């Protein structure tokens, strides 16, 4: 077999990781600014989860920097013993970090959706709790397996002079676990995209608003695509040898996945910023977490509501007081019909759920 060229795809991984961090982190900062300064709500569980995802994303960038410095991304035959040792060691400690970062991102988005679902959406709520639970269990299992697969000979994971076959579980089992993890992450991303689409379908709002809202909430499809590619790249790890090169191609897609998950989980929460920038300060904002706790039963109040309401002089009684609007059993307000002789004012009202 011909000797491969001394290519270094580690540079691609390094640039991609820091660029991804530089793009996704300001979005999360904006998310917190919108929550505290614009919506003026208390930070919720989904906010802290996405913050953990950003922290682990930063740690992954640091570890990738050290690993690439020592030779990650190059073919192992071109590395000295010291280079291979340190590159593989940093990569080993990188693995749990890049597993945990997207996990917290998915949990954040699932918690966000839980906050805007009504109490009657029991099936949807249970499905989201299942996604959260399985994410935690499967990722914890993979991390534990990573550092226990060689028993007490942990250094066999990164020392080129030690044959892993002498102390570690078969590589085939590790590959199967990686496939299962990638497959479930793909299913989770697909479901986190499909569920908002189902929710939006029943909303009472303009079609253009529905499309815009669906486009924002269904960004998990991009994470789904990255997860599919990552599943395919897992096959390279079944090849014995050349770990420093083969694992880099997988990690490139994991880094893409991490940043897409962070952006996806944060995009719906920063919409008030762009709406306010476009319309000025006249738009109102609503605490989606508080609305969920108060037990809304209609999903049309949980995400966004756009309606045209007619106010007329006939809605006032003889004392000049506004007559109360009756709630006819649904979450929609039924307004009195104004007479043609009345003076009518039409007001566009938008309520955005952060």
Reported as a single tens digit per residue, the pLDDT across 292-341 is 444 343 444 443 333 334 434 444 444 444 444 444 333 333 333 344 44
Which range among 102-116, 239-253, 312-326, 335-349 has the greatest average pLDDT?
102-116
Distance CA 153, CA 160 (A): 13
List the structure tokens of 331: 């979450």
CA angle 157, 141, 177 (to 5 degrees): 70
Q: What is the pTM of this model?
A: 0.75
Domain ranges across the chain: 10-272
Q: How far apart are CA 52 and CA 48, in angstroms?
A: 6
Nearest to 100 by CA among 155, 60, 131, 70: 60
63 has a pLDDT exceeding 60: yes
Residues with Cβ within 8 Å of 304's Cβ and at least 6 positions away in sequence, in order, are: 203, 205, 209, 213, 350, 351, 352, 353
Contact 234, 180 (CB under 8 A): no
Answer positive or negative: Cα dihedral of 173, 139, 261, 13. negative
| Burial classification of residue 125, based on how many CB atoms lie within 10 Å of its CB (0-12 exposed, 13-18 middle, 19 or more buried) | middle
Look at residue 83 and tell me whether its pLDDT is greater than 80. yes
Task: Tell whether the model's pLDDT for residue 22 goes beyond 60.
Answer: yes
Q: Mean pLDDT over residues 124-147, rounded?
A: 91
Burial class (CB in 10 A: 0-12, 13-18, 19+), 281: exposed
Name the burial class of residue 94, with classes exposed (0-12), middle (13-18) and buried (19+) by CB atoms within 10 angstroms of its CB: buried
- Do 207 and 238 touch, CB atoms closer than 8 A? no
Position with higher pLDDT, 33 vs 219: 33
Q: Which residues pair with 306 in a beta bridge?
A: 350
Listed range (81-90, 92-101, 284-293) with the worst mean pLDDT? 284-293
Beta bridge partners of 346: 310
| pLDDT single digits (tens) 189-211 | 888 888 877 777 766 667 776 77
Any idea which fold 10-272 has? Rhopdopsin 7-helix transmembrane proteins (1.20.1070)
Helix axes 243-266, 45-70, angle to 10 degrees: 160
Is the pLDDT assigned to residue 90 strictly greater than 70?
yes
């Amino acid at each position: 077999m011909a000797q491969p060229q001394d290519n270094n795809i580690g540079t691609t991984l390094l640039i991609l990781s820091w660029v991804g961090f530089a793009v996704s982190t300001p979005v999360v900062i904006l998310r917190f600014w919108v929550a505290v300064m614009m919506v003026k709500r208390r930070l919720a569980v989904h906010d802290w989860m996405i913050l953990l995802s950003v922290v682990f994303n930063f740690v992954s960038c640091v570890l990738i920097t050290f690993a690439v410095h020592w030779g990650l991304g190059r073919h192992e035959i071109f590395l000295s013993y010291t280079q291979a040792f340190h590159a593989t060691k940093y990569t080993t400690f990188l693995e749990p970090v890049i597993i945990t970062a997207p996990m917290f991102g998915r949990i954040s988005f699932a918690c966000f959706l839980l906050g805007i679902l009504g109490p009657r959406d029991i099936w949807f709520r249970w499905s989201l709790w299942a996604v959260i639970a399985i994410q935690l269990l499967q990722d914890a299992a993979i991390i534990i397996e990573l550092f226990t697969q060689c028993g007490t000979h942990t250094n066999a994971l990164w020392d080129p002079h030690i044959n892993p076959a002498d102390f570690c579980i078969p590589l085939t089992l590790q590959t199967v676990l990686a496939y299962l993890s990638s497959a479930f992450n793909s299913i989770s991303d697909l479901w986190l995209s499909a569920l908002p689409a189902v929710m939006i379908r029943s909303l009472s709002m303009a079609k253009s608003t529905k499309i815009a809202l669906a486009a924002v909430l269904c960004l998990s499809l991009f994470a789904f695509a990255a997860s599919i590619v990552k599943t395919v790249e897992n096959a390279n790890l079944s090849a014995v040898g050349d770990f420093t090169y083969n694992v880099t191609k997988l990690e490139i897609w994991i880094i893409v996945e991490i940043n897409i998950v962070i952006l996806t989980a944060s995009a719906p929460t920063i919409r008030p910023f762009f709406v306010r920038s476009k319309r000025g300060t006249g738009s109102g904002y609503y605490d989606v977490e508080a609305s969920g706790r108060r037990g809304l039963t209609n999903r049309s109040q949980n995400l966004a509501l756009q309606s045209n309401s007619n106010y007329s002089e006939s809605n006032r009684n003889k004392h000049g007081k506004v007559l109360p609007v009756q709630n006819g059993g649904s979450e929609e307000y039924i307004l009195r019909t104004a007479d043609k002789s009345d003076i009518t004012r039409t007001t566009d009202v938008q309520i955005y759920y952060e």
